[in-house]
Amino acid sequence: MFGIYLKRELSRRKKAALVIALGLALGIALVITVNSVSAGMTQAQDKVLQSLYGLGTDMTVTKARTAPTSGSSGRPNFQFDAKSEDDDSTQSSDRVMTQGGQALASSLVAKVAAQQGVSSAVGALSLNVTKVDGSFTQGKAKSSTSGQSNQGGPGGSSGGSMPQVQGGGASFDVNSYSVGGVDVTDQDLGPLSTSKITSGRTFTAAETNAKLAVVGKSYAKENKYKVGSTFKISGTKYTVIGIATPDSSDSTTDVYLPLKQAQTLGDAKNKVTTIYVKATDSKQIDTVKATIQKNISGTTVTTSADLAETVSGSLSTASDLATSVGKWLSIAVLAAAFLVAALLTSSAVSRRVREFGTLKALGWPSRRVTRQVVGESMVNGLLGGALGIGLGLAAAYTVTAISPKLTAQLGSTGGGMGGGPGGGPGQQSAQNTMEIALSAPVSATTIALAVGLAVAGGLIAGAMGGWRASRMRPADALRSVS
């Protein structure tokens, strides 16, 4: 009886049912769209952090650089030998300095790895190499003869000469690039983990102190390096064994060396500037961060959430809209949809006075009338939910198909690996910018939320309409007869 009556009443009031369902559908579709775009923003932000900072992990441990001591500016200086040759003299000098933060003892890597909640930890050393090369040109001394006599003095002569230096000078070129020391025994974690070897190979676990190098794609193109090419840093020759291409954008690290070689170049034996940490549970990152900071004093632990706060540009603006304005807008529209559905259901009940009064006169109790109204509203709600899911999926698919480009900028950061979590005072300033294609993935959780909202909308509308219907008396039906 319930199903037959329900089907007949919904068929008889198709327009009213459709209006209620569409109102709920619009609110639900907006919620799905906002949630999907917000999830896309999160994915885009993760790509920015991984590619620009080379994080590729859960957190990093660094130590802020201390201020230079008196008499030491911390700036690079170059010294060239004086030569007396008459011809041009070519000079070249490399200045290798650690960058990012203050150097940490390599023993801290094992200590960090032993902390509760840490799955693994590796150390890396970030260096900056400034190369100055060029030549001095020696000037030529020439004498000029004066036409005046020099009389009256002993040994006087009729003329004198004044020597003059002509020509000469110097021409030098300055080139700066970043070098990353990689723990070759665990390359799944650390600065090289966010790049793919597109030519040649990477280091083997046995090449802990080999004079080999992997160079970034952009740096290799700029210097015309390929697999098998050689170059020198501070007089040490390195052979290129691989070309690394970053996953999402150009990496700020130009050259990767085995960690021990980088430590030798930077005069930082048994030192690292960044410790990359992988947590056992991604949901416990904040707890692990607090544990490391508590047990290893003087260090700074940086997570992806910390770095996300530094992202600016259109990605940040869109993310704010999706998470704040979008959230409140969807709540407002959804509340309005629920209210409209409830009012329309209540109004429909008011127009059915004779019907419900007659049913009560025939013996229907109030709870049965209420159940009938709630059942009709639930069907309207589920219909609205189905339409809303369809509209929401269509909107999310449209966003993904269009893939609007968003710009992400991360303010002043150090070059190379130190530019990310390892950044600290005294590092070089660089502006990292990249473009991200926005997508709108729809998760099962979002669909479940939409179904829940549809049921809730139906219940709210049915509750108001059922309450109105339960208050009707058989006498109301008689009064409505014209």
* Most confident residue range from 14-28, 151-165, 268-282, 409-423: 268-282
Instruction: Fill in the amino acid letter for 276.
Output: Y
- The position carrying tokens 């829940």 is 452
Asked if residue 409 lies in contact with residue 433, where contact means CB atoms within 8 angstroms, the answer is yes
- Give the span between the Cα atoms of 113 and 124, in whole angstroms: 14
The amino acid at residue 425 is P
Of the pLDDT bands very low, low, confident and very high (cuts 50, 70, 90), residue 110 is: very high
Apex CA 64: angle with CA 58 and CA 67, to 5°?
A: 170
End-to-end CA distance of the chain: 29
Which helix or strand (DSSP H or E) is residue 40 part of?
helix 14-53
pLDDT digits (tens, 9 = 90+) for 315-353: 556 666 666 666 676 777 778 777 777 777 777 666 666
Give the pLDDT confidence of 263-307 residue by residue, as tens digits: 999 888 999 999 999 888 877 888 899 999 888 888 888 887 676
Neighbours of 207 (CB within 10 A): 16
Q: Which helix (H) or strand (E) holds 382?
A: helix 366-402
What's the predicted TM-score (pTM) here? Answer: 0.55
Torsion angle (degrees, nearest 10) of CA 412, 417, 423, 424:
-110
Inter-axis angle of helices 14-53 and 366-402, to 10 degrees?
Answer: 40
Q: What distance in Å separates the CA atoms of residue 417 and residue 253, rounded to the nearest whole number?
A: 6
Counting every residue written for the chain, the total comes to 482
Q: How far apart are CA 117 and CA 112, in angstroms?
A: 10
Pairing state of beta strands 104-105 and 255-258? Answer: unpaired
**Distance of alpha carbon 30 from alpha carbon 394, whole angstroms:** 11
Strand partners, 408: 434
Q: Are 250 and 195 in contact (CB under 8 A)?
A: no
Yes or no: say if 64 and 453 are a contact pair by the CB < 8 Å rule: no
Q: Which residues make beta-bridge pairs with 216?
A: 244
- For residue 415, the 8-state DSSP code is S
Q: What's the confidence (pLDDT) of residue 410?
A: 58
